[in-house]
Structure 1
Amino acid sequence: MMNRYSRQTLFNKIGNAGQRLIHSRTVLIVGVGALGSLSSEMLARAGVGKLILVDRDYVELSNLQRQTLFTEDDANGKIPKVIAGAERLKDIRSDIEVDTHIAHADALLLESLAKEADLILDGTDNFDTRMLINDVAFKTGTPWVYAACVEASYSSCGFVPGVTPCYRCLVPVLPTTTLTCDTVGVISPAVHMAVSEQVTTAFKIMTDQFSAPFHMRMGNVWDMDHMKFRIDGMKEDECATCGTHEYPELEINDASSMSMRLCGRDTVQYIDERLTQDIVVGALNDRNIPMHETPYFVEFRYDDYRIVSFNNGRLLIHGADQTNKARTIVNQLFG
């Protein structure tokens, strides 16, 4: 096995001992889009023992410009990202263990999966999920590494419970932006810079070499600007995550019925665990609505909306820009 990683073990910061540590680790990756697809590939090639992939979406053609694990066949087949990603990772390294979850990353799921992981990597595209990852990580004592990119900008930072401040402590000094890849775009070099920083930090954590001084790193690849600032002294005593340990993002709401607008897209996600595949297919047959069934979801059109219904009661309603409209559509279809 070591011969496969010979160029990595020749690097004196890793060596054979570090490689054995990397191979023993389990990493949870939340989001398998631009960030998560690249970080999972890097970690698979580096020899990580197990990856846990969580993503709620499927591959589309617009993903291929920056999401390195996927192909046109995946996009044409609308294959869920975690499924397509796992297949490609197995092609890269047949001995890797990959656990997949086609699911919305809610508090219950992430807290459960974090208990199996040595490290969490952020592959998301929104502030709310990062705050949730932060609370999950610090409650379970699991290190996590943040990464983000938009346009030509990138940023990354590692957080270790009991050692560093948490993400919530840094929020007042983080750049304030509502820009997303879906509204202003992103170029792939920014993705690669963010993930390079993220995975390097992951290597340090996995090989027990992550130590002070700790930094947030950010930059703009188009302008060739790169900077870092120290975060060591930024812990807030009254922080609800790492100070008072209240973990507000983990307050459990009723997950049996929930809707949310997806960041930067005219799409609403609606979750109702009662809407099993049998219920959805039966209702569509009763209404004579044509559908396309796959092993993972049912796709159909209703009025001007394209709807994808996953097997676990989760619907993506494309063309809807308000959660109230999504609820109306679901009530019209399923009562």
Structure 2
Amino acid sequence: MDENWQRYSRQILFQPIGLEGQKKLSNSKAVIVGMGALGTVMANHLVRSGVGFVRIIDRDLVELSNIQRQTLYDEEDAANALPKVVAAERKLNKINCSVTVEGIISDVNLDNAEELLTGFDIILDGTDNFQTRYLLNDVSVKHLIPWVHGAAVSSRGMFSVIIPGKTPCYRCLFPTVPSGLGETCDTVGVLSPLTDIIGSFQAMEAIKLLVGAETTSNLEQIDIWYNSSMQMDITHGRSPDCPTCGKGRFDFLDRSSNQQVSYTTLCGRDTVQINPRKRQIINMKEQAERLEKIGTVNGNPFLIRFKPDHDISLVLFSDGRVLVHGTDDIVKAKSYYAKYIGS
């Protein structure tokens, strides 16, 4: 065997991949959006497996609470408050110098998504919110790029492969955009083995797709605490009425769409206003009970003031509008919104 392939000898011995499959991997390009728990697992596997070019994108810094499950980071990264993609890129370059790893510190949004995500053979979902997943789906369908969806919270996870023109798209599977205020890792926690499992399944499906093998036709769901699993066959799930893949409407790339969320810096107030254009009705009592488990909560029937830490407070109104006090940085505000509000 050529010395260049020796590194992958055990993978090449696996007949469904073989040397030809390994060559395909080496000529492939993958982009991972989100370098948290799922993203670090996927990046680790793709780089070790020899995917030739891997772009990693994330907007956040390494924090001590990340290390429990985000496998590329350590205490020194957290102490130095390194951007996740910087810390990850350094680790990944030490793992496999023959792979090109490109770290980009950015918030993926409708203004830059097509620029950041096109030109790749596959997109991998390491995100933490619904809004970005629908955006990934728009880019995928519009530019005919497959993507691998994954999600993990508490002890439950899921993943699926979305191939434009072949499988249902994400919006076929989840036609109604959740209104936020759902469970997140920062509100109900998450188990480290779960993110390893879901991220590994995502990486495996990506490798299958890149070598030309059949990927799963299911929406796969597991609960590792209660030892349960479910496979939902989505083979026939494509909907001709789907706004995205059925009608070719890309609402999450369209600034005028009512699916967008508006982010506005309030002049002189060190505050960012986050305003979903699609009207919501929030059960304030339920949300106060959910948030008081993880921070200081007070308010009245019209609003909830939630303080997750010393520097930032979030004011949630019954129509879904949120004020993030303590920053005028929209990206930072979006991060807090995704962590605690869940969309």
Q: TM-score range by the shorter chain?
A: 0.7 to 0.9
- Of residues 95-104 and 125-134 in structure 1, the stretch that sits farther from structure 2 once superposed is 95-104
Residue 120 of structure 1 aligns with an amino acid whose one-letter code is: I
Q: What is aligned with 2:300?
A: none
2:273 and 2:322 in contact (8 A); partners too: no
Structure 2 runs not aligned, ≥5 long: 266-270, 275-306, 316-320, 330-343
Structure 2 matches for 1:11-90, cutoff 5 A?
11-90=14-93
Matched, 1:258 2:280: no
1:114 and 1:140 in contact (8 A); partners too: no
* Larger RCO, structures 1/2 (Cα 8 Å, 6+ apart): 2
Shift of the 249–7 alpha-carbon distance from structure 1 to 2, 3 Å rule, reads: same
> What CA distance in whole angstroms lies between the structure 2 residues aligned with 1:169 and 1:31?
23
Residue 319 of structure 1 aligns with an amino acid whose one-letter code is: I
Query: Could you say what the CA RMSD is over the residues aligned between the two structures, in angstroms?
Result: 3.1
Q: What is aligned with 1:311?
A: none
Percent identity of equivalent pairs = 37
Matched, 1:191 2:184: no
Q: What is aligned with 1:276?
A: none
Q: What is aligned with 2:106?
A: 103
Residue 189 of structure 1 aligns with an amino acid whose one-letter code is: P
Matched, 1:230 2:233: yes
> TM-score normalised to the size of structure 1?
0.77
> What CA distance in whole angstroms lies between the structure 1 residues aligned with 2:178 and 2:226?
17
2:272 and 2:328 in contact (8 A); partners too: no
> TM-score normalised to the size of structure 2?
0.75
Q: What is aligned with 1:141?
A: 144
Shift of the 17–53 alpha-carbon distance from structure 1 to 2, 3 Å rule, reads: same
Matched, 1:206 2:199: no
- Of residues 213-222 and 161-170 in structure 1, the stretch that sits farther from structure 2 once superposed is 213-222
What SS class does the counterpart of residue 82 from structure 1 fall into? helix
Matched, 1:169 2:175: no
What SS class does the counterpart of residue 174 from structure 2 fall into? helix
> What CA distance in whole angstroms lies between the structure 2 residues aligned with 1:75 and 1:53?
19
Q: What is aligned with 2:292?
A: none
Q: What is aligned with 2:281?
A: none
Residue 111 of structure 2 aligns with an amino acid whose one-letter code is: L
Q: CA deviation at 1:326?
A: 4.3
> What CA distance in whole angstroms lies between the structure 1 residues aligned with 2:240 and 2:308?
48
> What CA distance in whole angstroms lies between the structure 2 residues aligned with 1:175 and 1:330?
26
Shift of the 73–209 alpha-carbon distance from structure 1 to 2, 3 Å rule, reads: same
Q: CA deviation at 1:3?
A: 0.9
1:149 and 1:190 in contact (8 A); partners too: yes
Structure 1 runs not aligned, ≥5 long: 261-267, 272-303, 307-316
Q: CA deviation at 1:172?
A: 5.3
> What CA distance in whole angstroms lies between the structure 2 residues aligned with 1:24 and 1:9?
15
2:312 and 2:325 in contact (8 A); partners too: no
